């Protein structure tokens, strides 16, 4: 695989992310802050939330599979994207429980494999979760001040 081929595939993945329903799903996912595996499972009971959740997570798992199997250069992919890390950080603390509950031991396995190869992956994911908590609090504060 050449760098140009990797770049072309990354651009195609980017175009898919720009599709209107995918944009809605990604917007929803950015505000989704699960605190437990139960929160994730409850999401599956809501038709719209479930659709968005599955759309985003399966997209990033698919994209990660392209990298893991060598269709896209890993370094280039990680340099061009960060959303997959953000998404995985939301799910990672609950992944094993979700896998057991759903009896799907490979659930998000491609995404996990890609992200966990990164240097200091566990620390990076924890920092992302802390950042998301700060963002959530800042959004709540901003919403409270604009509702006066």
Cβ atoms of 54 and 32 within 8 Å: the answer is: no
DSSP letter assigned to residue 36: S
In 3D space, the residue among 74, 84, 98, 94 whose CA is nearest the CA of residue 34 turns out to be: 94
Domain boundaries of the chain, sorted by first residue: 3-136
Locate 35 and state its tokens.
């605190």
**Residue 105 near residue 99, CB atoms below 8 Å:** yes
Which one, of 94, 93, 79, 87, lies nearest residue 110 by Cα?
A: 87
**CA–CA separation, 60 and 143 (whole Å):** 30
pLDDT at 56: 98
pLDDT number for residue 137 = 82
Centre a 10 Å sphere on the Cβ of residue 39 and count the other Cβ atoms it contains.
13
Residues of the chain with pLDDT > 90, as a percent, come to 83
Tell me the pLDDT of the chain averaged across its residues: 93
Q: What is the mean pLDDT of residues 5-33?
A: 94
Condensed to tens digits (0 to 9), the pLDDT of residues 23-32 reads 999 999 988 9
Question: Is residue 148 scored above 80 in pLDDT?
Answer: no
For tokens 């929803």, name the residue.
28
Quick check: 52 and 29 in contact, CB under 8 A? yes
Each residue of 123-132: pLDDT tens digit? 999 999 999 8
- Report pLDDT for 145: 84
- The tens digit of pLDDT for each residue in 30-60 reads 889 999 999 999 999 999 999 999 999 999 9
**pLDDT in the model for residue 146:** 77
The pLDDT-based confidence of 74 (bands split at 50, 70, 90) is: very high
Better-predicted residue by pLDDT, 88 or 135: 88
């Amino acid at each position: 695989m050449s760098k140009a081929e990797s770049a072309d595939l990354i651009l195609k993945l980017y175009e898919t992310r720009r599709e209107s329903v995918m944009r809605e799903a990604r917007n929803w996912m950015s505000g989704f802050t699960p605190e437990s595996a139960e929160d994730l499972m409850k999401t599956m009971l809501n038709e719209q939330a479930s659709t968005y959740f599955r759309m985003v997570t399966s997209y990033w798992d698919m994209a990660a599979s392209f990298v893991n199997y060598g269709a896209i250069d890993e370094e280039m992919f990680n340099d061009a994207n960060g959303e997959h890390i953000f998404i995985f950080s939301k799910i990672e603390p609950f992944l094993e429980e979700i896998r057991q509950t759903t009896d799907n031991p490979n659930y998000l396995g491609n995404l996990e494999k890609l992200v966990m190869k990164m240097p200091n992956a566990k620390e990076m994911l924890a920092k992302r979760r802390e950042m998301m908590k700060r963002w959530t609090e800042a959004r709540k504060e901003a919403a409270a001040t604009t509702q006066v």
